[in-house]
């Protein structure tokens, strides 16, 4: 899976992340035709997202560096009825 559209929506604007990054191998379990819960095949980490300085601006030290995304994530497939090779998958923040 490719993690796309990752961006900072609040907080420091002096940091940036790659707009696309591959995840580790994942397993998905469907609870309906649209809902799927993903989890990593091995270990707990989906992906490590690296926060870097944005140009000459300095990202705060508490954010700078790699941060792991771990655990399970419930996601929603868009347009399930249409047969397409690529499909938008929306994964919202969960508690």
* Model pLDDT for residues 58-76, shown as the tens digit of each residue: 988 888 999 888 888 888 8
Q: Apex CA 75: angle with CA 30 and CA 90, to 5°? A: 140
Predicted model pTM = 0.66
Percent of the chain with pLDDT over 70: 76
Give the confidence band of 1 by pLDDT, cuts at 50, 70, 90: confident
Contacting residues for 25 by C-beta, under 8 A, at least 6 apart: 40, 41, 42
CA-based nearest residue to 91, from 24, 28, 10, 18: 28
């Amino acid at each position: 899976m490719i993690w796309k559209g990752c961006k900072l929506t609040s907080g420091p604007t002096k940091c940036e992340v790659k707009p696309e990054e591959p995840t580790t191998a994942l397993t998905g379990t469907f609870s309906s035709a649209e809902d799927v819960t993903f989890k990593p095949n091995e270990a707990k980490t989906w992906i490590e997202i690296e926060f870097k300085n944005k140009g000459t601006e300095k990202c705060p030290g508490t954010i700078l560096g790699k941060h792991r995304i771990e655990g399970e994530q419930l996601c929603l497939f868009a347009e399930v009825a249409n047969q397409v090779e690529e499909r938008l998958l929306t994964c919202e923040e969960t508690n």
